[in-house]
Each structure stands twice: as C-alpha cells, then as structure tokens.
Structure 1
C-alpha cells in the first residue's frame, strides 16, 4: 500500500513525549497522570472557593509553571523543523507541501464554521449610545513584516514570534535538503531535540501543582457579578471547545494519519486539559 505524505512525515519525524499520557499510565495503587491533573483542578476550585481572595499569593506559582512550559517550546520547534525538513527529499517535500496545504485549508474551514455557529448562539443586545474617548483612538497597526519575516531570528525567538521562527526554520531546512554532508548536522540536532524533550518531561511532572495554582487563583479572585455576566460566553465556549477537541479534530487527524481515533484522544487528553485551564496553547505545543 502506498503511504501518504503525512504518514511518511509521521514516520520520519520523531515526536518524543507525544504519547506522554501513556508513559504516565496508572500503576498499582497510584492514580494516572490525567487523574492527578483532574484532582489538581478540582482541588484548586475547592481551595479558591473556600479561601477566596486569600489565594492571590499563589498566582506566581501558576505563572512560573506556564513560563517553564514555554521554556522549551520554541527551541524544540526550531530544532525539529530544521532537522526533519532537512532530511526530506525534494520530491517528498513537494508532496508534503501539497497535502499540508489541503489539511490547513480543512482546519481553517472547520474554524470558520465553528466561529459562525458560536456567533449565532449569542443574543443581540440593544444598548444606549454613549460617547467614549476610546472611539477616537486609532487601532494598533499590526507589524506584519516583523511577524512573518525573520530579519533577526534571535529576536524572533526572544519575542515568541512563531511565524517568523517557522519561516526561518523552514528556509534553513530546505537549504539543508541538497547538501551532501547534511547528516553531520542532523544527528546533533536530533540529540538536541531529545534533550529538549527530556527537559519538557521534567516540567510536565509539575502539571498537577501548576493546574492547582492557576485554578485556585482564578476561582478565588473572580467577581461573582462578572462571572454571571459572562456565564453564557463560558458555556458556549466550553461546549464548542469540547466538541472540536474531542470529536472533530481527533477524527480529522485519524483520517489523515495512521493513528486511530482513540490513540489520538489518549495522546492529547493531558495537553487538552492543560491548554483549556491555562488558556495558552503555545505552552502545550511540546507536551
């Protein structure tokens, strides 16, 4: 059977830690990693509701955990892109590019449909017209060149400018394709990727503590009046996120890769919970 370009890339790209949840499987008398995350979230909710604003001091624990998660994300993305694009041939890279564009358009289509459905779920509010000085303020201008053109790759890494970093790494990986002695560079990059994966594993072990701190601070400091105003948005967002992340995206991934639906769901359950609580998908890219 002829393999698809995405399956070829899946076989050649090493993604250590993508089945992190399986390595944290339940042992004798010890809860699994997902169970510990759920316990941390529930304990954080109980702590925040019980102690209220006294949980403000714990915010630095959650911020530190998010920072540690982001620590190895962009370096790993850069190293992996350079190494795995560089080891491809020109023919396979063109096939992969064509298939990737189709998958990207499919994901964009799913996103637009979900946004339209979510927007129609909110009622129309008729309010009075009041003047505000914000109406005269000019909106901030997006620096598209700085966002996508890596004029200084190191500054792009420091600023977490993901599009610019991806453009630089793809360009360097494409340049590596035709080099005869590229293996001498690819092997050290693989070792560096493994080291970054090991660093990420150390940070991931702190996830239950980080989830507890983030949820406790949020539950303890949120204004009940403000919560009552946004509960419709939270309900709509939660339902849409649950349907997309548990049903639509795993089914799409299983349709274009050798993985089954349940394999995708088991591999993504921990980062999905973390991304939903943290509210920052970048922190969970290297889970």
Structure 2
C-alpha cells in the first residue's frame, strides 16, 4: 500500500489503464458489470463540476475590474478561436492525405440508428443563454452556467468596487476551497475508476468494432498528435519555456483527460496542476480554464473535420475548396458550448453533418467507436485550454517562473 501511494496518481492511472486493457481483452463481455465502478467514479466527479465551475468563474470575475475582465475575455476568445481553426485545418489535411473513408461501406454497423437533434447553429447560439439557471445547473449545461456566473461576477465586481469589500466574495473563496478539497478526496479513486471503464470498453466493444474503422481512428489520432506537437512548440516559444517541460508538467492532466474522455471531469486536476505545476496564477486559471471548458474544443474540431471528410468519401460526395472552408467554419462554430461529457462528440456531429449535406445515417458508422474517438478529443481539448491559460498568464506577467523552471 505504501509503495502504491508513492507511485503518485499519474503512474497509478497508467498502470491500471494497461491492466484494464489486458483484463478486458482476456475476459471479454463477461466483464461488463464492472462498468458500475467507473460510473460511480464519474458521477462523484461530475456532481462537483458545476459548483466548481460556477464558483471559480464568479470568484475570478468578481475579483476583477470590468476593464480587466473585458481585456482577458476578448484575449481568451481570440486564442480559443485561433487554436480551434488550426485544429480543424489539421484534421482536414490529414483526412485528405490518408483518405479514411475510402473502402468503408455502410452495412450492419449502421443498423443501430441514433437520435439526431433538430438543431441549427442559430439554435446553438440562443441556447447559450439560460432561462432558469437552477435548471441549467441540474442539467449540467456548462455554457449557460458560465454565462450566469460571468454576469453574477460582473455585478459582484461593481459591488466590490463601491463597498471596497464583499463578504460574499470571501465566502465564495472559502466555498471553492472546500469543493477543491472534496475533489481531491475523490481523485484517490481515479485509478480504479479508469480501470473499470477501460476494462468495460475493451471487454464489451473490443477489437471487433475498432478494426473496420481503424483507418479513421489512425487518421484522427495522427492529426491529434501532430496538432499537439506543433501547438506545444508554438506555446513553448511564446512563453519562452521548453515544450518538453510544459508537456511533462501537464502529464497528469493529459492522462486523466485521455482515460476519462471528459473535459469536465479533468477540470479539477487541470486547475490544480495549472497553478501548482505550471505556475499560472489563480486569477487566470479560475477564469480561463472554465471558459475553455465550454468555448474551446480543439479535439472536437479535429474530430468533426475528419468525420465530415470521411463520410463525404463514404458517400462519394465532392470535396472542393468551398467544402473544406465550410467544414472548418462549421466545425469551429459547433464546438461552442457542446456537451463536455463522454458522447458529446456525436451531438456536435449531428449538427454539422446535415449542414454539409451528408446523410445523417452516416453518423451511426462512427457511433460505435465514440469512446475511442473521445480519448483523442478530450486530450486535445484539455491541452488547448491549459496552454492558452499559460500564454495569457505570460501576457499578464502572472506566471511563477520559480515553479515553471
């Protein structure tokens, strides 16, 4: 037990990930009941995320002057859009080079029809704004929660400026500390939760589903890795720190993101390591990281781009310059506020695919491997959020260089 604790959470998760794959492939579908353990872990984390996000955003915004908030908000959005467009473009390039849709056919794999929401980009934008924030919290609608938290924080900022102090802000800071401590307790279970989830996925889904779409996963995986390599190099040059050092300090964040396939579940670890391992100030991390959770989805943009090209090739649809531009723009817009829990990629795909004139039935072709796609999506999403927070912290001179060295 003592040796296990000395390994640290990162190494524990990696060990249990490998063990889970071996057990799942060895035992097969009989291992399905173990999913309950993973589901309990995910729920324990998810029950805290809404409060964590709302509390962090209100505290961050409430502590800022309206002028500083506007500057940081615009800068964050600009970086989010820039990285998302680059990620989508990389997905397009790799799809055109590797042709993942060539040779794929729609057969029994698409027999399991999925529900396609009747949602347009306009509907998506309107849905950013809540009618009832309690309902938004209950449903885990992060973008609506964040919109409310920003407005609440702005009002608190004005009160703070008028009165010189706010008891509510002090109370919020204490509340946020308690939530973080609770999440820290829950993260002790992370290796076992990951083991259960990976064992279930490999045991029940296994190789039989992956093989027919191996080229799609290979294309998406290579595009993700390529994007992350060039992005880390860019961030390293911008911040004037070795990209390898940044990657090393983010290792635990990336492993949790990859194994849980949920940006929301990775957020508590992301916020902790951003401050303690990357030296990002609390002011920046508590504002930029929750915003990135809802507004920055590099991995999802890459996924949507690769998926659209793949399905276009499956159906023999023409791919020209206007098609490529449309895919990049739609992939970027559809990532805004998309569900940040496992399975959210299919929701965004169901928005983009009809807009591109691709038959919606093709979505079912990719539904069976959504968990595996989600691993790469979440990895890129979380990496983008954290590195953008790091760049903004550099701009604001709010990096502790004694930590990041």
TM-score w.r.t. structure 2 length? 0.57
1:55-93 CA-partner distances (Å, limit 9, x unpaired)? 111011111111112121121110111111111113222
| CA radius of gyration, larger in | 1
- Structure 2 CA distance for partners of 1:83 and 1:125, relative to 1, 3 Å: same
Q: Is the 8 A contact 2:16 2:195 kept in 1?
A: yes
Q: Within 5 Å, which residues of 2 pair with 1:1-287?
A: 30-120=6-96, 121=98, 122-125=100-103, 140-141=118-119, 143-144=123-124, 147-179=127-159, 180-181=162-163, 182-245=165-228, 247-254=229-236, 261-262=243-244, 264-287=246-269
Q: Compare 177-186 and 77-86 and name the one that shifted more.
A: 177-186
Stretches of structure 1 that go unaligned for 5 or more consecutive residues are: 1-25
Q: Is the 8 A contact 1:147 1:161 kept in 2?
A: no
Q: Is the 8 A contact 1:146 1:164 kept in 2?
A: no
Measured on the aligned residues, the alpha-carbon RMSD in Å equals: 3.2
Q: Compare 85-94 and 260-269 and name the one that shifted more.
A: 260-269
Residue number in structure 1 paired with 2:363: none
TM-superposed deviation, 1:157: 0.8
1:86-123 CA-partner distances (Å, limit 9, x unpaired)? 11113222321332232122222222212312432324
- Structure 2 CA distance for partners of 1:274 and 1:191, relative to 1, 3 Å: same
- Structure 2 CA distance for partners of 1:138 and 1:157, relative to 1, 3 Å: closer
TM-superposed deviation, 1:192: 0.7
1:151-196 CA-partner distances (Å, limit 9, x unpaired)? 1001101111111111111111111222123531111111111111
Stretches of structure 2 that go unaligned for 5 or more consecutive residues are: 270-405
TM-score w.r.t. structure 1 length? 0.78
Q: Is the 8 A contact 2:31 2:204 kept in 1?
A: yes
Residue number in structure 2 paired with 1:23: none
Matched positions, count: 258
- Structure 2 CA distance for partners of 1:46 and 1:113, relative to 1, 3 Å: same
Q: Comparing both chains, which one has the higher relative contact order based on Cα–Cα distances under 8 Å and sequence gaps of 6 or more? A: 1
- CA–CA separation in structure 2 for the residues paired with 1:31 and 1:285: 22
